[in-house]
Structure 1
Amino acid sequence: MTRHAYRPDALIATDIDAYLARHQEKSLLRFLTCGSVDDGKSTLIGRLLYDARAIFDDQLSSLEADSKRVGTQGANIDFALLVDGLAAEREQGITIDVAYRFFATDRRKFIVADTPGHEQYTRNMVTGASTADLAVILVDARKGVLTQTRRHGFLAHLLGIRHIVLAVNKMDLIGWDQSAYDAIVADFAAFGTSIGMGQAVAIPISGLGGDNIASRSANTPWHDGPTLLDHLETVSIDSDDASPAAFAMPVQWVNRPNLDFRGFAGTVAGGSVRPGDRVRIVPSGRTSHVARIVTQGGDLDVAVAGQAVTLTLTDEVDCSRGDVIAAADDPPVVADQFAATIVWMDETPLLPGRGYWLKSGATTVSASVRAPEYAIDVNTLQHLSVKTLGLNDIGVADVQADRPIPFAPYADSRVLGGFILIDKLTNATVAAGMIEHALRRSQNVHWQAIEITREAHAAQKGQAPKLLWFTGLSGSGKSTIANLVEKKLHALGRHSFLLDGDNVRHGLNRDLGFSDADRIENIRRVGEVARLMTDAGLIVLTAFISPFRAERELVRAMLPEGEFVEVFIDTPLAVAEARDEKGLYAKARSGEIANFTGISSPYEPPEHPDIRIDTQRMSAEDAAELIVDRIVGMWMPVI
């Protein structure tokens, strides 16, 4: 291949401002390439950049050198190296991360995301697809439509991408066989019809040779459709933007530079707004009118979807980050329970009932996911009965947030209907979700105002409510010490109640087993009961193994600051096993008992307990005395 004979506009522009001005008014298309491993996604993008004159001289020199270093023979250039930026990608010849590139032609600006093909990195594909207007799904002409092709097609449709291009690549390796091409197109079309996807635009290409990329190929006289670049430059996306017709803007920042200005900054998610329009703050429901639409370039007469603006209101209303300013007569739905389609993106499976951070736009709440209604087989589209979701699984489940949030169905708004789930301990993003609708029970069940408050209950008993949460291995002495503590509190005239793990499983939680999911639900229920008891002004003691930090923190979050007291009964496994009067450890080691904490199921000890009891150095009586002294003397004054 000879040296690139032309230069991007940016190289010959002597006036950068003039260059930017020429491109400022062009429309922007965000698209991604996806498909299975080694279908040629990176090569296609590299070739597209080359043919669109978006490679600088120094990049081309580096590309030629890198191509020789990795073994590209003859005069060929390895275009994949333009976007496979990670060292690991270049060494393995695969794409791991999402690589973004910007380029422009005379007709349009583009941001392209090169997403991984390997099943392990499907979560990265979801990241790239979440903001894309169009998806180029590649198929290796030698292999046809594969499982990963279907998965990426399903996800692209699920994530609201309206425009699909089926690029049948490496046609040169099958001798430009039209019948093989037609069979692949028919196979993908049948799959698309089964999931409700619109008609894909099919193009036979060779990413390496450049056939039908920017110019029509003589090798496909039977193809009467557009080239890839032609289609990218001309496809209309404005009318297909999935955004609500009514005005809505999530508040990202409250701008208060001085006492004379208070504005609410964000990007308009849908509709339009003008000064004087009546708006509603969601979820509070307060109404006001728009006073000004402020931007860096001056005030606007109207703001539309996609514009970043600052709104000022005519009234001093309570509005903060995470709220939504919306059309007063057509605000988003507000609910704390909703059905959602979830793409699980973590190697650790979903634990139904576990608390995760749910982040939707600028709103972050604590939420849990119930056991999935079903998972979807991307090959057959069958609904599979499952109890959890694993890496790359797609399923439908109900989500419960700890407080109502504003949203729109994802089909109406990708901004207001999308969310991610974050592990509270690792801060890893574990899932992406698309809200379908609010659950009816969330609309029908409301908080009832009660005149006798928790403060009044506590004052009547003359004490500050507390939840003493005893945690430790089976046989550590939790129940023994908790029982002694309650006896001492009772002798002091305190009002208390002890919830013991074994006793609760005889009634409230008799339907639960000992799987991780059941253990989580066990602790959630106990936490809710304990919270109600503290609302009644009681000092509650619980003695549960409660093996997972996340669930102990979930219960802590249910209570006011300082009311949850974590008491870690620190007993080594060998000591707890030696004390085992019931013979449970022996049965667990022999395989008679599954999911036994410390043997076949993990125990996560508290990292910073409020009280730590070393049972090797302290008797149960002394431990109880220490706990009561600490609680009564320091944290639990009589009201």
Structure 2
Amino acid sequence: MTAPVTDAPETLDESRMDLLRFATAGSVDDGKSTLIGRLLLDSKAIFEDQLEAVEATSQSKGYDYTDLALLTDGLRSEREQGITIDVAYRYFATPRRKFIIADTPGHVQYTRNMVTGASTADLGLVLVDARSGLTEQSRRHAVILSLLRVPHLVLAVNKMDLVDYDEDTFNKIRDEFDTFAAKLAIPDLTVIPISALKGDNVVTRSEAMPWYQGTSLLHHLENVHVASDRDLVDTRFPVQYVVRPKSDEFHDYRGYAGQVAGGVLKPGDEVQVLPSGFTSKIAGIDLHEQSIDEAFPPMSVTVRLTDDLDVSRGDMICRPQNAPTPTQDIDAMVCWMTNQPLRPRQKLAIKHTTRNARAMVKDLQYRLDINTLHRDLDTQELGLNEIGRVKLRTTAPLFVDAYEKNRTTGSFILIDEATGVTVGAGMIL
């Protein structure tokens, strides 16, 4: 098997490249930040002055190696404690694909940050230390990735250099995780032995592990198929903004801007606008001041209709025969993100796609124990970082789909009306 190209070309035709969003997860000190640093370094995605600064900092700390974690752990508190606290986003590209990495925290008290980083991910990358194997936190993160319906999961068994690249150690961890993952909704699982510090199987295949016949991590990230993960059947276009240019040249122009959440939009298609129910046809689709023949997730476009309808922010453009059901009763799994607990009868603001409303907590059905998957039916509240099944009643109808069907129209956030702080993230059942 040939190793992937590691030297970036002089120019990348980014217009023809697709995008992969992936989130790292795992216990503290499993090497998430170091792995991302290694990916950035070996794919030539960092500048020389950045590398020199990291090398100087590593030397000042007395390290006999370059601490690649310093490339992602940017907060002073993160460097002082040696742990990742906030979600760090990094961007790089290879000749095959563009990447957005979410380096999420491993510490249990920052689970909410991990949920935020993984909510938009196409792939979840769970690291485990080869010396300690699966931990409670690595299982916890696998469960959260499963709840968030992240379609692809990679288990990277890190620090193989510290166990002398032992095949039996790797096989034991792989088999244990396979047994655990069988209880979860993980449609695609890949297990790769790596050493982030040494670079084994990260960008290129490692000669230290001839028993491993799979691809390197970067080769897998470049080739994993994500286009079919999005819902291309059910047309969903939440209107974000009404475009009415104030110029004589475009005085008749009226377009509706937003991001395609599902399906494929084409000029001539018959569409329906919710909540009004009025129908029309697509006159054209504009992208960067150019008309295009079709739009699909996750493209951000402006749609023009043949009829002059009353359409505003928060409305949904869909197909007449395949429209979401407007509802004011929401049944969802909610991850709670603030110290003040969630309780029944509580009133909150809710944001679903581009639509805003107010909501009341009708019922808290159970709290889910992430470690054992046990349902606590007697719970009276959800605390910080806890996940539970909640029923809500909204003041206005929302146009929802099940989260497992569409991660965009099947999710929402809850907001404290007094402070404007996001206090919960929900996945509609």
Pick from 370, 378, 386 the counterpart of residue 393 of structure 1: 386
Which secondary structure does the structure 2 equivalent of 1:425 belong to?
Answer: coil
Query: Counterpart of 1:435?
Result: 428
Separation of aligned partners in 2, 1:125 and 1:118: 9
> Residue 142 of structure 2 corresponds to which residue in structure 1?
153
Take 1:221 and 1:164, find their aligned partners in 2: how far apart are those partners? Answer: 24
SS for the counterpart of 1:366 is strand
1:605 maps to: none
Distance in 1 (alpha carbons) for counterparts of 2:164 and 2:287: 56
Counterparts of 1:25 and 1:179 in 2: how far apart (Å)?
A: 42
Match of 1:578 in 2: none
8 Å contact from structure 1 (residues 350, 389) kept in 2: yes
- Give the Cα separation in 1 of the matches to 2:54 and 2:380: 49
* CA offset digits 1:336-367 (Å, max 9, x no partner): 00210111121221122111111112111111
> Which amino acid in structure 2 is aligned with residue 355 of structure 1?
K
Residues 156 and 253 from structure 1, CA distance in 2 versus in 1: closer, same or farther, beyond 3 angstroms?
same
Unaligned runs of 5+ in 1: 1-5, 14-18, 437-639
Residue 106 (structure 2) pairs with residue 106 (structure 1): no
- Greater helix fraction, Structure 1 or Structure 2: 1
CA apart distance, 1:294: 2.0
**Deviation of residue 199 (structure 1)?**
4.5
Q: Is the 8 A contact 1:8 1:56 kept in 2?
A: no
- Please list the CA deviations of residues 386-412 of structure 1 after superposition, one character each: whole Å capped at 9, or x if unmatched: 121111211112111111111111111
Per-residue deviation, residues 216-272 of structure 1 (Å, max 9, x unmatched): 22222221111111111111111122x251221000001112452221111111111
CA deviation after TM superposition for structure 1 residue 143, in Å: 1.9
Q: Deviations over 1:409-428 (max 9, x none)?
A: 11111111111111112222
Question: Equivalent residue of 1:261, what SS?
Answer: coil
Cα distance change on mapping 1:235 and 1:285 into 2, 3 Å:
same
Alpha-carbon contact 1:96-1:116 (below 8 Å) kept: yes
On the 8 A contact 1:294/1:309 being kept in 2, the answer is: yes
**Aligned partner of 1:382 among 367, 371, 374:** 374
Give the aligned partner of residue 265 of structure 1.
257
The answer to whether the Cα contact below 8 Å between 1:254 and 1:264 also exists between their aligned partners in 2 is yes
Match of 1:45 among 36, 45, 52: 36
Root-mean-square deviation (CA), in Å? 1.6
Identical positions, percent:
49
Partner of 2:280: 288
Please identify which structure carries the higher strand content: 2
CA contact (8 A) 2:336 2:423 kept: yes
Q: Secondary structure at the match of 1:431?
A: strand
- Structure 2 unaligned segments of length 5 or more: list them: 1-5
Q: What is the CA deviation profile of residues 152-199 of structure 1, one whole-angstrom value per residue up to 9, with x for unaligned ones? A: 111111112111000011122222232222221122111211123235
Residue from 408, 419, 425 that aligns with 1:415: 408
Contact 2:151-2:188 at 8 Å conserved across structures: no
Note the alpha carbon deviations across 1:295-333, whole angstroms, 9 max, x for none: 224112222222211112122222110111111211112
Q: Equivalent residue for 1:16?
A: none
The CA distance in 2 between the partners of 1:375 and 1:7, in whole Å, is 49
What's 1:308 paired with?
300
The answer for the alignment partner of 1:351 in structure 2 is 343
Q: Which has the larger radius of gyration?
A: 1
Provide the rounded CA distance (Å) in 2 between the counterparts of 1:200 and 1:301: 35
* Preserved CA contact (<8 Å) 1:8 1:55: no
- The answer (yes or no) to whether the contact 2:402–2:410 under 8 Å persists in 1 is yes
Aligned to 1:424: 417
Is residue 371–residue 387 contact of structure 1 (8 Å, CA) maintained in 2? no
Q: Which residue of 2 aligns with 1:575?
A: none
Tell me by how many angstroms 1:373 deviates: 1.3
Question: How far apart are 1:291 and its partner, in Å?
Answer: 1.5
Name the TM-score, length of structure 1 as normaliser: 0.64
Residue 8 of structure 1 and its aligned partner are, at CA, apart by 5.4
> Counterparts of 1:554-593 in structure 2 under 5 Å?
none
Question: Which residue does the alignment assign to 1:238?
Answer: 227
Which residue of the partner structure matches residue 25 of structure 2?
Answer: 34
Deviations 1:556-610 (A, max 9, x none): xxxxxxxxxxxxxxxxxxxxxxxxxxxxxxxxxxxxxxxxxxxxxxxxxxxxxxx
CA contact (8 A) 1:375 1:395 kept: yes
Give 3-state SS (helix, strand or coil) of 2:307's partner: coil
Q: Quick one: which amino acid aligns to residue 62 of structure 2? A: G
Residue correspondence of structure 1 range 317-332 to structure 2 within 5 A:
317-332=309-324
> 2:205 aligned with 1:216, yes or no?
yes
1:406 partnered with 2:399: yes
Contact 2:232 2:296 (C-alpha < 8 Å) held by counterparts: no
* 4+ residue runs over 6 A deviation: none
Residue type of the partner of 1:256?
Answer: R
Q: How far off is 1:56 after superposition?
A: 1.3
Contact 1:7–1:56 (8 Å) recurs in 2: no
* Contact 1:192 1:199 (C-alpha < 8 Å) held by counterparts: no
Supply the distance in 1 between the matched residues of 2:188 and 2:92 (Cα, whole angstroms).
27
Q: Which residue of 2 aligns with 1:249?
A: 237
1 CA distance for matches of 2:95 and 2:268? 39
Q: Aligned to 1:87, which of 58, 76, 79?
A: 76
CA deviation profile, 1:124-144 (whole Å, cap 9, x unmatched): 111111111111100112222
- Confirm or deny: 8 A CA contact 1:7 1:55 kept in the other structure: no
SS at match of 1:370: strand
Contact 1:294 1:311 (C-alpha < 8 Å) held by counterparts: yes
Letter in 2 for 1:377: D
In the aligned structure 2, how far is the partner of 1:276 from the partner of 1:230? 40
Matched, 1:366 2:355: no
- In the alignment, residue 55 of structure 2 is paired with which amino acid? E
What one-letter code is carried by the residue in structure 2 that aligns with 1:28?
L
Structure 2 residue aligned with 1:505: none
1:83-116 CA-partner distances (Å, limit 9, x unpaired)? 1111111111111111111111122111111111
User: Quick check: 1:181 aligned with 2:170?
Assistant: yes
| CA distance in 2 between partners of 1:119 and 1:237 (Å) | 29
Equivalent in the alignment of 1:226? 215
The amino acid that maps onto 2:349 is W
* 1:61 aligned residue (52, 56, 69): 52
Matched with 2:115 is 126
Count of residue pairs the alignment pairs up: 419
> 1:140–1:168: 8 Å Cα contact kept in structure 2?
yes
Q: Which amino acid aligns with 2:316?
A: V
Aligned-partner SS, 1:304? coil
- Matches for 1:476-495 after TM superposition, within 5 Å: none
Kept in 1: contact 2:24–2:32 (CA 8 A): yes
Closer, same or farther: CA 179–392 of 1 in aligned 2, 3 Å: same
Q: Describe the SS at the equivalent of 1:400.
A: strand
Contact 2:232 2:297 in 1 (8 A): no
CA contact (8 A) 1:290 1:312 kept: yes
Distance 2:318 2:188 in 1: 34
